[in-house]
Structure 1
């Protein structure tokens, strides 16, 4: 049976990309697909369900999802496989926002944007998490970009929120 594995530059519980990876994994499990999450950097050391990307044992039957938002060695690692590849583009923050504060982050973002321009024909399927990101990819020459919005299960995060009995009469912003 085919397995569907996901890869990213980093995994940290609570961030949008990590949450999206968990949601995708859960949906795939509902359809009885097996698959693991692999990352270059793992934020919480006690996460046993996230594996270092270099531990992936390749199989030509696997489908590989790559979540792109910043430069990562994972991208070069995935290029060596002939398995079907799926890009999920989460946006790359413009590097100049970090130039005065964090040169390493600025470099990783700049390189991530440069890599994005070269990914056009490296993936079999391409998704963007928003219309804005879809338009960005299309401007770079990507074709057939579909939108796969970020999902978030509030009920799992805040299961005991009760509706207020009082009604809001005015809202000031």
Structure 2
């Protein structure tokens, strides 16, 4: 069965998003047709349009924000001497939800992946180094995923940071089971 063009276009739009396949896209579209009132659909469309016009990148850390500085960087209760380096802005939420880190973050904007064309100059590494020169940072926590790309990014960053900032303590997030754990 062929759907009307407007329905198929919306299904195609949803399937272009990560993690949404054809069946899920169809369910979303038919839910909106059945349950979405005119006002709700207009608000939904407005919210989508506002993503690009209102969201900025924090000039300090690279997180998403409505302002020049994100809430974390503006928070005077945060320990500015401790920076956790993450791959993407969405990683911050997961780490913050643990309530175990009170420092600030630095978003790289991805992980090294030469086969995909992601080299050090494509990431926010220069901004991190400039930030370290400016601030009195004493600890860097590498909060990157334990994938091949994450590990290669960690190796690169450790080497670069030790060369330029030998006095800064460099650690990484723990992972896995403790020795003897089941």
Higher strand share: 1
Interval containing the TM-score (normalised by the shorter chain):
0.3 to 0.5
Could you say which structure has the larger radius of gyration?
A: 2
Higher relative contact order (CA 8 A, sep 6+): 1
TM-score, with normalisation over the residues of structure 2? 0.32
